[in-house]
Structure 1
Amino acid sequence: MSKADMGRRYRMYPTAEQDVTLTGWGHTCRALWNIALEQRQYLYRQRGVTLMGGEQCKQLAQARAEVGWIKDLPSECGQRVLANLDAAFLNFWNPDHPAAYPSRKRRGARMSIPFKGQTLVVRRLNRHWAEVKLPKLGWVRFRMPRALGGTIRNAVASRDGNGWHISFGVHTGRTPDAPNGKPACGVDFGVAASAFVSTETGPRRMPPTLKPNERKRLKYLEQRKSRQLTYAKKHRDGKYSNRLRRTIRQIATVKTKQANRRSDFTHKLTTDLAKNHGIVGIEDLRVANMTKAAKGTMDDPGRNVAQKAGLNRSILDNAPGERRRQLEYKCRMYGSRLVAVPAFHTSQTCAVCGKTDPDSRQGCGRLFSCVHCGHEDDADHNASIVIEARARRTGGSVTNSTHSTTTVRVPAPRRRRTRETLPATHG
């Protein structure tokens, strides 16, 4: 059977009764994930046996006959949870995959319920609305401004601060476009300038993801949440009150708006880059290393901790990792090629004479002034030209390692960090 090659996400509007049922299913899926993960960890520690989803599905069938809250969940949803856990472990065991060790899902994590595509039925009601028939739940309405365009292979119902959504994995049968033959470009992702393209004269700046009033409200809500948490720990044995839960929901609503605006800018940026260029060069950034905390230890405390925390928030707000992920599949889709080049000294290398000198970039200013040839340019634009030149030298092949060239000194490759109790290899 052909796999899903495209995703479709729509806003879903369940009734009050359906909302209660979906919420209960979401908590059940989270509990099943945590129980299955704990069982695998325990069995490996005690006996050195790697338990997979096939055996756990048999145990799940027995549990459904004995435990009511597991029986309420459609059987296919529980099976999909175990299949997703299998995929998480396989990605972790794969040395070429960046996935970390599977972790437990907290109560406040994103709530999601997976379904098999074969059991779902979708019918359009009118130009803007449709409904999907979910197992043991019936027909649920959702907003459908765009057609599916293919065969449904899987689906996930999820809830965020704005409400419920339904995401379909669809097989469209679309093949990658032929090379478009368009000019190459280099893109420098930053904080002051969200993206500076080498073929453009000005930077692309992401609009503020929160308005001033929303930023003030978010700060107020987080302070109120902190006070309510302190009170709950002192006087309620940690039990959340209804007011605290309401505050958490209000924070989630504001942060969801922020995430949606960030996602909108990211999709528009990556789509434009992939459509209008034949080669897209970017820096091979190590985002996890860039956003490490500066706290230090009790014996050796860090310096400028608050400033580093603010910088980390700004870096993550621009989502460089998500931009790269989107470029990887959009470049294949639109006939262009993505090239990740070493980020070493791109901000200190002159785009005209090619010489690298730290004195050419004084401090963190926006001006690049070469001390050798006198070339002056915006620092981000100069870096984007250097990135484009490095991308052209690779011959247009996709590069996923900092070892893409031999002329640039690069840091040693990272070693995967594993837990002491659970080795990275399966038995």
Structure 2
Amino acid sequence: MSKADMGRRYRLYPTAEQDVTLTGWGHTCRTLWNVALEQRRLYRQRGVTLMGGEQCKQLAQARAEVEWIKDLPSECGQRVLANLDAAFLNFWNPDHPAGFPSRKKRGARMSIPFKGQTLVVRKLNRHWAEVKLPKLGWVRFRMSRALGGTIRNAVVSRDGNGWHISFGVHSSRTPDAPNGKPACGVDFGVAASAFVSTEKTPRLMPPTLSRNERARLRFLERRKARQLAYAKKHAGGRYGNRLRKTIAQIAALRTRQANRRQDFTHKLTTGLAKNHGMVGIEDLRVKNMAKSAKGTIGYPGAKVGQKAGLNRGILDNAPGERRRQLEYKCAMYGSKLIAVLAFHTSQTCAVCGKVDPDSRQGCGRLFSCVHCGHEDDADHNASLEIEARARRTGGSVTNSTHSITTVRVPAPCRRRTRETLPATYG
């Protein structure tokens, strides 16, 4: 059977009774994941590798004895164990960046996986449809776009704005042929969200929260801190209704912020993949870039507050998510993605190729080469350097395999200026 190659996410509107049932199932899936993970850890200490096949047999026995496990559809429990198998396989794969599977906290995103074969979707009108979930019946969702394929799996999840359903569909879409459009280099930053080498102005991400929303979020965070302190002192750590309401209000604001960030990221990456035959980016190590500056008691860190603010700016621009989206969108629209070494891209002159830290004084916006006198916006100069490195090592788009290429480029050397390079790539 063909696998899902596209995702579709819709807003789900369950009834009050269905909401209670889905919430219970979400907690059951989380508990099942944690119990299965601990069981595998214990077996590992005895030198035995336990996988989902054996645990599925034990799950069937537990369903006959434990009522709250029996209430969860059997396919959901099996999918949870299958996802845990995938997490361990990724951890064992030396080429995969995943770490050891971790426990899911109570405040983590609530999700319930389903198999696509058991789901039935029917369209009610132009904007609404229903999905039939096992043991739950028909649930309405907003049909914001067509499914565009055969459903292979689904996940019902909940965030600060409510319930959503995500379908994995097989669309049978084949990658486009190389589009032959001009190449570009992109410098992702904080002050300038993205600077494209073929453009004269940076692309700035609009504020993800307005001034009033930031003030509201700050007020709610302080209220939450007071309510948590009161709960620990007078209620034995138990959460009251007011504290739960405050947490829900914070989650709604955070979800709104994440949705706006994701909207800008999708528009940016789609435009880059559609309008360029090659996209060059830096091979960034985001985890290392966003490390905390906190030290130990004996060796305290320096400028911890400033580094924390910089980390928030880096993560708010989501360079890792932009790269992930470019990987599949470039393949979809006939482009090619090349990741080059980020070493000294901000200190290299795009005209003469000389590397000198004096050309970039501090963190200013001006790049002024001390060797040839070339002046440009620092981020635009970096994007030109990224494009030049990608061109030197990227090969021809006409021979593209539609996969990302990570290139370790040696130290910059003298080369032709960008004006002497061909207008199109390929």
Q: TM-score, normalised by structure 2?
A: 0.94
Alignment correspondent of 1:360: 359
- The 3-state SS of whatever aligns with 2:387 is helix
- The 3-state SS of whatever aligns with 2:29 is helix
Offset of residue 233 of structure 1: 1.0
Alignment correspondent of 1:97: 96
Query: Matches of residues 156-305 of structure 1 in structure 2 within 5 Å?
Result: 156-305=155-304
- The 3-state SS of whatever aligns with 2:394 is coil
1:17-72 alpha-carbon deviations (Å, 9 max, x no partner): 00000000000000000000010011101x11111000000000000000000000
Alignment correspondent of 1:25: 25
Offset of residue 404 of structure 1: 2.0
- The 2-side partners of 1:353 and 1:66 are apart by 74
Alignment correspondent of 2:417: none
> What is the CA RMSD across the aligned residues, in angstroms?
1.1
1:155-177 alpha-carbon deviations (Å, 9 max, x no partner): 00000010000000000000110
- Give the ranges of 4+ consecutive aligned residues of structure 1 lying more than 6 Å apart after TM superposition: none
Alignment correspondent of 1:2: 2
- The 2-side partners of 1:392 and 1:373 are apart by 23
Offset of residue 400 of structure 1: 5.5
- The 3-state SS of whatever aligns with 2:204 is coil
Alignment correspondent of 1:138: 137
1:353-399 alpha-carbon deviations (Å, 9 max, x no partner): 00000000000000000000000000000000000001111124755
Asked if the contact 2:336/2:404 (under 8 Å) is kept, the reply is no
- The 1-side partners of 2:260 and 2:381 are apart by 28
- The 2-side partners of 1:399 and 1:157 are apart by 31
Aligned in 2, Cα 1:399/1:178: closer, same or farther, shift over 3 Å?
Answer: closer
- The 2-side partners of 1:193 and 1:341 are apart by 20
- The 1-side partners of 2:212 and 2:382 are apart by 35
Once the two structures are aligned, what percentage of the paired residues are identical?
Answer: 83
- The 2-side partners of 1:126 and 1:316 are apart by 40
Asked if the contact 1:342/1:408 (under 8 Å) is kept, the reply is no
- The 3-state SS of whatever aligns with 1:213 is helix
Alignment correspondent of 1:404: 408
Q: TM-score, normalised by structure 1?
A: 0.94
Letter matched to residue 10 of structure 1: Y
Alignment correspondent of 1:119: 118
Asked if the contact 1:344/1:408 (under 8 Å) is kept, the reply is no
1:214-269 alpha-carbon deviations (Å, 9 max, x no partner): 00000110111111111111111111111111100000000000000000000000
Offset of residue 14 of structure 1: 0.2
- The 2-side partners of 1:312 and 1:148 are apart by 37
Alignment correspondent of 1:54: 53
- The 2-side partners of 1:408 and 1:86 are apart by 44
1:66-119 alpha-carbon deviations (Å, 9 max, x no partner): 000000000000000000000011111111111111100000000000000000
- The 3-state SS of whatever aligns with 1:394 is helix
In structure 1, the gaps of 5 or more residues are: 410-427
Letter matched to residue 249 of structure 1: A
Alignment correspondent of 1:384: 383
